[in-house]
Structure 1
Amino acid sequence: MAALQLALAALLDALIGDPPHWPHSVRLMGRLCSWLEPRLRAALHSPQELRLAGLLLVLAVAGGFGLAAWLLLALAQSLAAPLGWLLGLLLSFQCLAAGQLWREAREVARPLQRGELDLARRRLAMLVGRDTQELDRAGLRRALLETLAENLNDGVVAPLFYLALGGPALAVAYKAINTLDSMVGYNNEQYRELGLVPARLDDVAGWAPARLTALIMVAACPLLGLNAGLAWRVLCKDHAAHQSPNAGWPEAAAAGALGLRLGGPNYYDGELVEKPWLNAAGRDPMDSDLEFGLHLAQLSTLIAVLLAGLAAWWLRG
């Protein structure tokens, strides 16, 4: 039943994604973080105290939501087994973000392919941390492909990994950790101390899924006519060049699979940040590469769902 629950959650995610007006646990996580942060900052000030504040954020948001999910599931299961199963399905569905990722990628790709660069820049700015105002077409394509690869891990494979391993409550806890990292896990003056614990914990939680994501992407290449050999070579050579211990794996795999040059210098909050290239010998992306990148993400999602379903069946029945 665990495998069926996971498969149905993935199907619902692919079909309806994240309806904007539905109540969603991730939005509640974000609101709790936004409510707690100024109150912790008002009470804790020194660098050491701000690191403690980051730990308290993790305990409150990730620990709180994970525990709440576990208790709600236990309560629902005690009332009626089908009710517990349906609640688990709902929580599992809300942990996945493949459908939303694909829709958002298309919303950037379509105006970009039509030459509506300003619209593409505005939409892309909602997905990435870099400055998008001055990106040219190649830069916009590159940023979109990179966020597709990174979020394939963060929003799809990693939640599937934790759903298979421990069920909906563990996946909710992971999702809370990842949400905290996206909100406070920045290496800048404002968040360097407070965001340290959430960022490091997200690195740990995403370590195995990121490597699994990259391997799945390489395995998907032959089915799409992409270069699995180059994907593997670039993955092995360039994954460690990325500043993130995890994002470099799927991004390097995507660069090799598509034969593209990804990464490189970008502006963040008006400041140029020098980053190494992934597959430096590759070419700049074209519009057609956006479709190949999306197809690679979709097929990789399907493979990940199959693997997670098998793992859930073996581990939890």
Structure 2
Amino acid sequence: MMFWSVRETLLLLAAAIVIDWCVGDPPRLPHPVVGIGKLIGLLERLLLRGSGSRTVTRLKGAVLALTVVAATALLMWGLCLLAYRIHPWAGFAVNAWFISTTIAVKGLKDAAMLVYEPLRQGDLALARKMVGRIVGRDTDGLEEREVARAAVETVAENTVDAFVAPLFFALIGAAPLAMLYRAANTLDSMVGYKNEKYRDFGWASARLDDALNWIPARVTGALLSLTAACSRNASGKRAWRAIRTFAHLHPSPNSGIPEAAVAGALGVELGGTNRYGGVVSERARLGWPLRPLEADDIVRTVRLMYGVSCWLAGGLLCVWLSLEL
């Protein structure tokens, strides 16, 4: 029977972080999230056939969410169990690899830098194109400051979704629970919209993602504040104060925490007017505009994200070493 001790689990998570730092998501290897996305698309087409009342549509959405997360977790558990029965080290390697695919520190950094470099070189058109790959808002016509804001907000928010949250669930249940979280997060990104098509069908997916991110978002806020406190170019005290002052103004119960923390840490203002499919969405302003937002704030936000990853990796190793002694 597959079983991980506390020490093995801590080492497993640290290994997954290092794999992501060094390798990221190799473009030639199939990514589990692609398979999850295809499953969601298939079930969505099947469940949305015909019409129904609002209640029926919500029930169909709940069936979609439960089916996807259960199937993902069970398949991952079976793969890990098979590898473990072949050899414990095989089980460790499979777990570490799949956990590393649920986190994306290197991928986020690479994507953010693809926005930063054109901005630094004055190529606003290319910067708009690059930021359009990582955000859902309309990016055509964005000014330099708004392009930078989009990138900063995405890195801040995804410090939760693409790092702290999957590791939190991996700590509880290794790769199966980490992949369950990734499935829920993918569901939210595909159907968790508040538009006419998905308002009811995606309701369960959106609420599930909110529930799973509740603790990780608050842990991330604390770690971002701690990282900022150790940085020469940021303020930990102001980051924590911004969380308490502005986070609740965000429409998401979780996303406002890392975004407010980054805004406070850097002394800039995030939020404002976004457009989605031509429809204007006004977001609450987060932070105090002590200075104008600039392209270099993308790099500063990436450093804050890496600081969070270093705190977590270091903490895991310290606990592991203390248990070994």
Out of 181, 189, 193, the position equivalent to 1:182 is 189
2:280 equivalent to 1:239? no
2:154 equivalent to 1:151? no
2:250 equivalent to 1:259? no
Out of 70, 80, 105, the position equivalent to 1:73 is 80
User: In the TM superposition, what whole-angstrom CA distance separates every residue of 1:152-179 from its partner, at most 9, and x where no partner exists?
Assistant: 1000011111111221111110010001
2:125 equivalent to 1:118? yes
Out of 220, 226, 231, the position equivalent to 1:224 is 231
Instruction: Determine helix, strand or coil for the equivalent of 1:260.
Output: coil
1:297 corresponds in structure 2 to 305
Summarize the alignment of residues 266-285 of structure 1 with structure 2, pairs less than 5 Å apart.
266-285=274-293
User: CA 1:285–1:192 in structure 2 vs 1: closer, same or farther (change >3 Å)?
Assistant: same
1:59 corresponds in structure 2 to 66
1:25 corresponds in structure 2 to 32
Summarize the alignment of residues 197-208 of structure 1 with structure 2, pairs less than 5 Å apart.
197-208=204-215
Verify the 8 A CA contact 1:184 1:198 in the aligned structure 2.
yes
- Code of the aligned partner of 2:143: D
Runs of 5+ consecutive residues of structure 2 not aligned to the other structure: 1-7
User: CA 1:312–1:180 in structure 2 vs 1: closer, same or farther (change >3 Å)?
Assistant: farther
RCO (CA 8 Å, sep 6+): is it higher in 1 or 2?
1
Whole-angstrom CA distance in 2 between matches of 1:283 and 1:131? 25
Per-residue deviation at 1:312?
7.9
2:3 corresponds in structure 1 to none
User: In the TM superposition, what whole-angstrom CA distance separates every residue of 1:2-58 from its partner, at most 9, and x where no partner exists?
Assistant: 222211111111112112221111110001111111111015632222211211111
1:163 corresponds in structure 2 to 170
Whole-angstrom CA distance in 1 between matches of 2:196 and 2:51? 16
Whole-angstrom CA distance in 2 between matches of 1:187 and 1:239? 20
Per-residue deviation at 1:66?
0.5
Per-residue deviation at 1:96?
1.1
Q: Bigger shift: 177-186 or 2-11?
A: 2-11
User: CA 1:213–1:204 in structure 2 vs 1: closer, same or farther (change >3 Å)?
Assistant: same
How many pairs does the alignment contain?
Answer: 315
Out of 132, 142, 162, the position equivalent to 1:135 is 142
Instruction: Determine helix, strand or coil for the equivalent of 1:262.
Output: coil
Out of 254, 257, 267, the position equivalent to 1:249 is 257
Q: Bigger shift: 71-80 or 92-101?
A: 71-80
Per-residue deviation at 1:267?
1.2
Question: What's the TM-score, normalizing by structure 2?
Answer: 0.93
Question: What's the TM-score, normalizing by structure 1?
Answer: 0.95
User: In the TM superposition, what whole-angstrom CA distance separates every residue of 1:250-281 from its partner, at most 9, and x where no partner exists?
Assistant: 00000000000001121111011111100144
Out of 211, 217, 231, the position equivalent to 1:210 is 217
Q: Bigger shift: 84-93 or 241-250?
A: 84-93
- Root-mean-square deviation (Å): 1.7
Per-residue deviation at 1:310?
5.9
1:104 corresponds in structure 2 to 111
Identity of aligned residues (%): 37
- Code of the aligned partner of 2:247: H
Q: Bigger shift: 274-283 or 87-96?
A: 274-283
Q: Bigger shift: 16-25 or 175-184?
A: 16-25
User: CA 1:161–1:313 in structure 2 vs 1: closer, same or farther (change >3 Å)?
Assistant: farther
User: In the TM superposition, what whole-angstrom CA distance separates every residue of 1:174-194 from its partner, at most 9, and x where no partner exists?
Assistant: 010001001100011111011
Per-residue deviation at 1:222?
2.5
